[in-house]
Amino acid sequence: MRTTAVSVLAILPRSEDQACLSQIFSHSKWNLRLVDGLAPARPLIDELAAGVVITDHRLPDGHWRDVLLDLQCREIEPVLIVASRLADDGLWAEVLNLGGYDVLGTPFQAAEVVRAVSIAWRHWQDRALNRDRILSDAMAAGARALSATF
């Protein structure tokens, strides 16, 4: 499951936020896919195998909590970063308490985006690797148990 290419899906309704994030990503080898709402994002979550999803806290067709619920249904849940012009301690606490990963203020600052996405990506990869290890260990234990019965 381990992959080296950072893949991010960003759900941002404002064109200025999309342009800013695109500019930041253009200086890296990271993959960025931009959409402006939850509906177009849903099929892309699995298709892109995005490990990180950045979403605005308010969407034209939903809310960041709706994105989080969608992500939690995935076999390996992507990490969620919420973006907001009103990023404050209250939003940050809510995001973390409900299972999100981080909050970024907008307009985006390059250093903060790079830091947050890098750490979130590593967290997602570690979680995926741990899941693969657990499955592998369970399969090995099952094979040993089967061979012991025959």
> What domains are defined for the chain?
7-149 (3.40.50.2300)
Q: Let me know if 11 is exposed, middle or buried by CB neighbors in 10 A (0-12, 13-18, 19+).
A: buried
What would the two tokens of residue 126 be?
A: 């570690």
Write down the pLDDT at residue 3.
54
Residue bearing tokens 């404002």: 14
Residue pair 124/78 in contact (Cβ under 8 Å)? The answer is yes
Residues 90 and 47: their CA atoms lie apart, in Å, by 33
* Model pTM score: 0.85
Residues 45 and 37: their CA atoms lie apart, in Å, by 13
Residues 46 and 51: their CA atoms lie apart, in Å, by 10
Write down the pLDDT at residue 127.
86
Per-residue pLDDT of the chain (150 residues; tens, 9 = 90+): 445 688 999 999 999 999 999 999 998 999 999 999 999 999 998 788 889 999 999 999 999 999 999 999 888 889 999 999 998 999 999 999 999 999 999 999 999 999 999 999 999 999 877 765 544 544 544 555 555 555
